[in-house]
Structure 1
Amino acid sequence: MASLDPSTDAELTRRAQSGETGALGLLLARHQASMRAVAMSLLGYGPDAEDAVQDAALTALRRIGDVRDPGAVGAWLKAVVRNGARMRLRATREKPGLDGLDHLPLDHLPLCAHEPPHPERLIEQHAMRDWIWDAVEELPPQLRLVLMLRHFSGITSYQEIAAVCEVPVGTVRSRLSQARGKMARVLLSTAAQTHDDASALTEDSRQEALETLQASERGFLPREISELWPAEAEMVGRFGRPGERVHPTPVMRRMLAAGVRQHVRHVVASRDITIWEMDVTNPAGATDPCPPTLAWLMLRQNRRVRTLRVVFPEPAR
């Protein structure tokens, strides 16, 4: 449906670059038909074309600030779709993240020479974080989990996500496709609304992670932390035996006794899913060292941890 907003593309782009979510929503709605036409011309009618459009919309959230010519944003959006569609056609292996722009010609996308920052930092720079996370919270938990892992954590390959979620790779693909589709629809429908401060939730979770590690090293958890780890909390996966419920606290104590130390590197938090990514140091001469990175994946209810799975991401190549 055509936008009724009389603003030019250039005006909407500048407003979006200054952090106005409604302006970006209008841009995406205005150019949705032409973006879909590009995708269908390369991928044909079907879910792949829809996925390419949805990926492009999510990519625009991250990189709208990189548009050099605001008046040509329509061409930029179509180039994002075209590039993503071509990547789908020629891909020989999975590539993680909200991708689609790294291989565009430089006249479409000004890339910095240094390593690109983490997706969440890009989102924060563009003042779109709260809008995005409100949309993430609208997803059902199963869809939210795969989206958070794929796009906001270091656990990004389909194989890793499948192992974490204990589902086949095909199910991961299906859930990601559903999640992106729902995200795109929610973002367009909520662009002009006010949104909760997502940074507050993330910062609270980061502080909880720091306090949990510090308290466990001292040998006890203060009441405000222990209340978040009730007796019914359990670890699953590598540190738990099949059919046996293992509370996280004694496992953490065993790791500490072995000289393993963890340091918070990155936190991803929604209301009932939390991911703490850790750097790990081992004692000198350890015969069975812990991998250099790990992640705590927590499923919560009313903030209290119900299930914890410790995940060891594949090392970066």
Structure 2
Amino acid sequence: MYAVAYRILGNGADAEDVCQDAAITAMARLTDLRDPAAAGPWLKAIVRNNCIVRLRTRLPVPVGLPDDSALMACADDPAEIIERHATRDWIWDGLMGLTPALRDAAILRYFTRMNSYQEIARACGVPVGTVRSRLSEARRRLAEALPETVAGRHRDVGALTAERREEAIALLSSVPSATPQAFFGGRWSPYAEIIWPKGDRRIGLSSLFEAFASDYADGVRYRVTNVVAGPDITVWENQFVNPPEDPDHCPPAATWLLRESEGRIQSVRLFHAPRPARVCDSDHSG
């Protein structure tokens, strides 16, 4: 694996990072491997895909793109990993062995669309260099821990994910008037802190429901696309379905980072996916 990565990237540190990422991806998708004799080519294919992603991040970012999130699209579908009960539970046991800082970075990197270093840095409120070091340490610890968790007994993360998905759909996909604030009284702290994409902070759910009602009145709908659930952190991802007459009303998608304590959500941080760069046609005269 390292030989393949080094031949493509020509950099030892990058090759090591890619191999570590590939090992974790392979562990998560182990049920994809039907023929043990094909393990070598399968692993090398994962390495090559990761190398392509790494090479793309080295390219200059075109004017108009705020960061490299569009270039960091991962070939592996996180939803597939989450839906595999046989692997999901033991992977989460490995993740829960990490410190909260390492776990948050790893969850965002491997299980959500928010997988660029810049986006993770914004979500965690730390410099990009800190994200790199946290992910490196998380990979090292997971590489040691995951093989030991495979044979053990695991909590049913699938049931927790299903429960959290229902919660996300109830809040994001229904008519605002049909989801009264009292509905969330058992799960949401009345003093939950809501942090909006531009950094505005509000206490309580009122600002959420006001935003939902405003978008709904303007013809915007939300479609839940992914939910990642752990004992004290949940990530929601949704697409915005804008009205045909106003296709740019909302950004393409959003990521919600929900943190909880003692079973109640204490803070929600919301991030919007960057809008795609506009391509302007030049006026060519004969």
With the shorter chain as reference, the TM-score category is 0.7 to 0.9
Q: Which residue does 1:302 correspond to in 2?
A: 262
Kindly state the Cα deviation for residue 63 of structure 1 after the two structures are TM-superposed: 4.0
Contact 1:272–1:303, Cα closer than 8 Å, also in 2 = yes
Cα pair 1:139 1:182 within 8 Å, conserved: yes
In structure 1, C-alpha distance between the alignment counterparts of 2:254 and 2:140, rounded to whole Å: 30
Aligned residue runs from structure 1 range 1-317, under 5 A: 48=14, 50-67=16-33, 69-73=35-39, 75-76=40-41, 79=44, 83=48, 90=55, 92-93=58-59, 96=72, 118-122=77-81, 124-125=83-84, 127-213=86-172, 214=174, 216-218=176-178, 220-223=180-183, 225-238=184-197, 241=200, 245-258=202-215, 259=217, 260-282=220-242, 289-315=249-275
What secondary structure sits across from 2:203 in the alignment? Answer: coil
Partner of 2:63: none
Q: 1:194 to 1:248 in 2, by over 3 A?
A: same
Deviation at 1:183, TM superposition (A): 1.4
Per-residue deviation, residues 9-50 of structure 1 (Å, max 9, x unmatched): xxxxxxxxxxxxxxxxxxxxxxxxxx6687789989976554
Residue identity in the other structure for 2:25: T
RMSD over equivalenced CA pairs, Å: 3.5
Is the 1:62–1:126 Cα contact (8 Å) retained in structure 2?
no
Q: Return the alpha-carbon distance in structure 1 between the equivalents of residues 136 and 230 of structure 2.
A: 20
For 2:205 and 2:199, locate their aligned partners in 1 and report how far apart those are by CA, in whole Å. Answer: 9
Q: Which amino acid in the other structure matches residue 272 of structure 2?
A: F
Aligned length, in residue pairs: 262
**C-alpha distance in structure 1 between counterparts of 2:140 and 2:214, whole Å:** 46
CA shift in 2, pair 1:48/1:240, >3 Å: closer
Q: Distance in 1 between matches of 2:47 and 2:197?
A: 42
Which range moved further: 89-98 or 230-239? 89-98
CA distance in 2, matches of 1:210, 1:81: 33
Q: Which has the higher strand share?
A: 2
User: 2-side partners of 1:50 and 1:174: how far apart?
Assistant: 14
Partner of 2:281: none
Structure 2 Cα separation of the partners of residues 191 and 306 of structure 1 = 32
Paired AA for residue 186 in structure 2: E
SS of 1:193's partner is coil
Give the Å deviation of 1:267. Answer: 0.8
1:61–1:315 Cα change, 3 Å:
farther
- Unpaired segments of 5 or more residues in structure 1? 1-34, 100-115
Helix, strand or coil for the counterpart of 1:128?
Answer: helix
- 8 Å CA contact 2:242–2:248 kept in 1: the answer is no
Per mean C-alpha deviation after superposition, the further-off stretch among 155-164 and 35-44 is: 35-44
How far apart in 2 are the matches of 1:39 and 1:257?
Answer: 49
Aligned residues: percent identity? Answer: 38
Shift of 1:274: 0.9
Could you tell me how far 1:273 is from its partner in structure 2?
Answer: 1.1
Change (3 A) 1:36 1:185: farther
User: Which deviates more from structure 2 when the two are superposed, residues 80-89 or residues 207-216?
Assistant: 80-89
Any gaps of 5 or more consecutive residues in structure 2?
60-67, 278-286
TM-score (norm 2): 0.75
